[in-house]
Amino acid sequence: MAFRAPRSLVAGDRVAVIAPSSSVAGEVNRPRVEAGIARLRGWGLEVVEGEHLWASAPASELAGGDVDRAADLARAWSDPSIAAIICARGGYGMQRLLPVLPPGTLSTGQGKWLVGFSDVTPLLHRIAGEAGLQSIHGPMVAGLSDGEEVGTESLRALLFGELTDAPLLTGLTAWRDGEASGSLIGGNVALLAASVGTGDLVATRGGIAFFEDVGQHGFVLDRSLTQLLRAGWFDGVVGVLIGDFTMDATPAEIELVLRDRLLPLGVPVWAGGTFGHAILNRALPHGADVALGGGELRLS
C-alpha cells in the first residue's frame, strides 16, 4: 500500500468547510463551527462555506438531503482553487452520502487534504482507495475552538507540512510489545464495521490498524470487532494502535473486549493513543507510512 500526501497548505490558501453528515445549524453546534471557522482564518486561510453548510433536513439530524451534501463535497473536491476540505462535524450521514456521490469524483484533479473522523471514516477510506491519497483523521471545525490545544496544533502542523522529527504520538502502552511499520489505516470501529461489504474499506494487509470509538456498550464493541475479524479486515495486519474509547461501559470492560479480540492477532498492540472523541484529539495522517514501537508512533 502506498498513498501519496497532498500538497501542504500555505497562508492565503482557500479551504472549504462542509457538513457531510449531521447538521450544525442548531444552537449548540453553530457557535462551535463559527468559532472553528474563525480559528482557520487565524491560520491565514480563506474559508469557503459549503452551500448547504448550515442546512438541516426535516425530521432528521442530517445537514440537508443526501444529494445536497454529496454535491457540496463534489464541488469542493473538483474546485482547483480549494486546497483542503475540513468537515464541520461527524454524527451520522456519511453512509447515505457515499452512494450518491458521482462516480469517479475523488479520482479527479490533483487531490487535496480532507479532514475528519468518526462518521467521516468511510470517506477517508474512499479517498485512499479511489484517489490513492492520504487524508487526516483529526479535529473537525466544531472541535477547533473547544478541543485541547495540543490536538488543534497537531492538525495545523499536518496541514501546513510543519512536522519535524517529533513523534505523532507518545506515551503509548504495550499490550503486546514489539515494533511495526506500514501504512496507517483505520478510524472509528462502528463505522469500519458498518462499511464491510460496501467496497469502501482499505485493507490493512502490511499496515497498522488504528481505531477509536464512543458511546458503545462492551458487547457492541465486541460485535463490531468480531465482524471486522470475520470479514478478514485484519488479515495481514502488522500492528495495532488503540486510541480513545469513551464508552457506555467501564474502562476495564472495554479493555477486556479489546484484549480478547486483538491480542490473538499475534502482532504488536499499543494502547493509549490520544486520538478520538476525548477533548484531546491528535491529528493522524490516514494512509501515511508510520513506525510503531517504543511507546511512540512516528512518520517513517
Compute the distance between CA of residue 267 and CA of residue 175 in angstroms, rounded to an integer: 10
Compute the distance between CA of residue 82 and CA of residue 216 in angstroms, rounded to an integer: 36
Closest to 139 (Cα-Cα) out of 126, 127, 152, 125:
152
Burial class (CB in 10 A: 0-12, 13-18, 19+), 49: middle
Q: Residue 128 is inside which H or E element, if any?
A: helix 121-131
CB contact at 8 A, 4 and 133: yes
Q: What angle do CA 167, 159, 111 make, to 5 degrees?
A: 120
Q: Check if 212 is active-site.
A: yes
Name the active-site residue from 21, 22, 118, 195: 118
Q: Is 254 in a helix, a strand, or coil?
A: helix
Q: Residue 40 is inside which H or E element, if any?
A: helix 29-42
Name the active-site residue from 125, 212, 224, 286: 212
Q: Check if 51 is active-site.
A: no
Name the active-site residue from 125, 137, 277, 286: 277
Q: Check if 181 is active-site.
A: no
List the catalytic residues: 118, 212, 277
